[in-house]
Amino acid sequence: MELPEYFFRVRENGALVFRIESGNRHRRLEMEPIAVANTSNGKIKPQGGRELTEADHAAIRAWMAEREAVLAARQLDDIRRTIDHLNLTAQWAQSRAGDSDLEAVTDDLLMAMHDLRTVLVRRKAERLAPKD
């Protein structure tokens, strides 16, 4: 099995970057921390006084681009699931919810849907407005 050269331990805003070393005499897998990658601001900070090579930087930048694409796809998938949940919620409210169930969630749902509708209508109007 061919091991990757780097391992990225995902964090909230990026990853801890490790270099994989497997060529030692004990045949143990070593993971040397070399950097912290921050996807929210694009910064790469070397760890432990290390100097990163251009290959290190290139691999980290490639991972950051791929990670941002994965997160964007997940976000769209979450939104599509939210649409499904809204439809399921409407069906539940119409066919199965009791009065106490509806009383428990109606105000919160109405406020959240009003807020969402306001944002969507405003953003749609911005997109449809003529550009200067």
- pLDDT tens for each residue of 15-36: 999 999 877 666 678 899 999 9
Confidence (pLDDT) at 24: 63
CA 115, distance to chain mean position in Å, is 23
pLDDT band at 2 (very low <50, low <70, confident <90, very high): confident
Residue 79 covered by a domain: no
For residue 47, what are its two tokens? 């760890």
The answer on 58 and 111 residing in a single domain is: no
Residue 28 domain flag: yes
- Of residues 22 and 126, more confidence is placed in 126
Flag whether 126 is in a domain: yes
**Mean pLDDT across the chain:** 94
Q: What is the value of pTM for the model shown?
A: 0.76
Domain-located, residue 81 = no
Count of structural domains, the chain: 2
Alpha-carbon span 68 to 4, nearest angstrom = 20
Asked if residues 59 and 5 have their Cβ atoms less than 8 Å apart, the reply is yes
**Domain of residue 40, residue span:** 6-67
In-domain check, residue 45: yes
Say yes or no: 23 and 63 in one domain: yes
For the chain, list the strands marked E by DSSP: 6-11, 14-21, 30-38, 44-46
How far apart are the C-alpha atoms of 54 and 73, rounded to whole Å?
29
